Amino acid sequence: MASAQGTPAAPQAPVGQAPKAPAPAAGQAPTPPPLKLYSLGSETQADPFPPVNPKYFTADSPSVATVDSFLKAILGFDSNRIWRVEGIQKTMAAGVSKVTAMVSERGPNAKVQTAVFFVLPDGKHLISGDASGVSPFGAQPYAANRALLQARASGPAKGSASKDLMLVEFADLQCPHCKDAQATMDKLAADFPKARIVFENFPLTEIHPFAMQAALYGSCIAKKSSEAFFTYEQAVYDTQGALLPDTAEQTLKNAATKAGADPTAIAFCVASDAAKADVAQSMALAADVGVDQTPMLSINGRIIGVASVPYETLKSLIQFQADLDGVGGAAVSPNGVDLKSHQP
């Protein structure tokens, strides 16, 4: 199973149900409702999963419906993916529930995998069985991040003024992978004209010694205009190889000049507490939404690595998330016609 914030997979429609569990005996906890097997399409197929056993449903929360909605949000991107909840159990840790689900694909001889994660007492976070860390959980696992970013992602932006569909890029201007990701970001701007695309500084100072200075320059230039910032950003990436001890400062000044900034005024701004506070705020936002590397992209709160996802997959994922969030017709086709949303 992909982690809650990892590379995902397209809305699913029920094609079957698990057998009904027997009625509970007096004094026993109620058994879960019939569980759904999800798949896109209407073709009939054999159920690849083991029968649901009520004895593996001992926890009061989360509910089967919540877990189903969560799995749909995480896995539903892949039109071949199917799944079923097989257990929600109490653990020795008070309030921590163990969730087990079976995941497979449509078609004959598909491999069935077991996904295990532990839902924490707050009901809003989980720890994956593969030790990938704490991730959001719930029927709408990205809603909290989405609201946080709508409120606090104030970096330079392009595209729509609306925050209904926000693509927030966290990047380091000295990061080679961030430089490579710009072609992807440019394509997304063209393919999603209804999106608001925001840049947030996240300089990785331990490995990129000039990333902070580049971020400070960027913060100051963004005060002039977002358009000036994106010109500066591209100029830095174009000359990234010159971010060296003897040439880094002049390289950044040249990029600032190309963006139409006055070098003297920028020098004063870069040394100011306000510029440092601006970059620190961006870095704090990254930490608050779970970003710990670059380049990372938030799709309405869903955090993924830009460099790890093929473009067409990324494009389909954004449309899927937009549909889940009620932002229909977010993408455009190659001929410029709005693509109809595909609600599950």
Answer yes or no: do 161 and 106 share one domain.
no
Looking at residue 48, its pLDDT comes to 86
Q: Does a structural domain hold residue 343?
A: no
Rounded CA-CA distance 258/189 in Å is 22
Residue 162: alpha-carbon gap to chain centroid? 19
Phi, psi for residue 127 in degrees, rounded to 5: -120, 125
Domain co-membership, 103 together with 162: no
Residues 152 and 296 in one domain: yes
Domain boundary among 140, 175, 207: 140
Within-domain flag for 62: yes
- pLDDT at residue 287 is higher than 50: yes
The reply to whether 179 and 159 lie within a common domain is yes
- Domain extent at residue 49: 13-140
Q: What is the pLDDT of residue 132?
A: 66
Indicate whether 8 belongs to any domain: no
Same domain for 149 and 295: yes
Q: Do 277 and 233 share a structural domain? A: yes
- Over 50: is that where the pLDDT of 335 sits? no
In sequence order, what E strands does 32-156 have?
Answer: 36-39, 81-90, 97-105, 113-119, 125-128, 134-136
Q: Is 231 helix (H, G, I), strand (E, B) or coil?
A: helix
Q: What is the token pair recorded at 267?
A: 């020098």
185 and 314, same domain (yes or no): yes
Residue 106 is classified by DSSP as S
Residue 338 lies in a domain: no
pLDDT (average), residues 45-56: 86
Query: Are 317 and 204 found together in one domain?
Result: yes
Asked, for residue 253, whether it belongs to a domain, the answer is yes
In the predicted structure, residue 219 carries a pLDDT above the cut 70 = yes
Residue 121, beta-bridge partner list: none
Whole-prediction pTM: 0.79
Domain final position from 140, 166, 198: 140
296 strand-pairing partners = 170, 305
Q: Which amino acid is at 142?
A: Y
Window from 37-46, 55-64, 305-314 with minimum mean pLDDT = 37-46
Laid out side by side, the sheet with 196-201 consists of 157-159, 196-201, 166-171, 296-299, 302-305
Residue 23 has pLDDT above 80, yes or no: no
* Residue 213 in tokens: 């200075």
Q: Are residues 117 and 151 in the same domain?
A: no
Structural domain includes residue 334: no
Count of domains forming the chain:
2
Position 282 in a domain: yes
One domain, residues 41 and 116: yes
pLDDT grade for 83, boundaries at 50, 70 and 90: very high
- Asked whether residue 331 carries a pLDDT value surpassing 90, the answer given is no
Phi, psi of 38 (to 5 degrees): -100, 145
Same domain, 35 and 157: no
Which is more confidently placed, 77 or 126?
Answer: 126
- Helices and strands, counts by H and E, the chain: 9, 12
Residues 69 and 217 in one domain: no
CATH number of the domain bearing residue 281:
3.40.30.10
**Domain boundary, last residue among 116, 140, 164:** 140
pLDDT value at 329 more than 90: no
Query: Would you say residue 4 lies in a domain?
Result: no
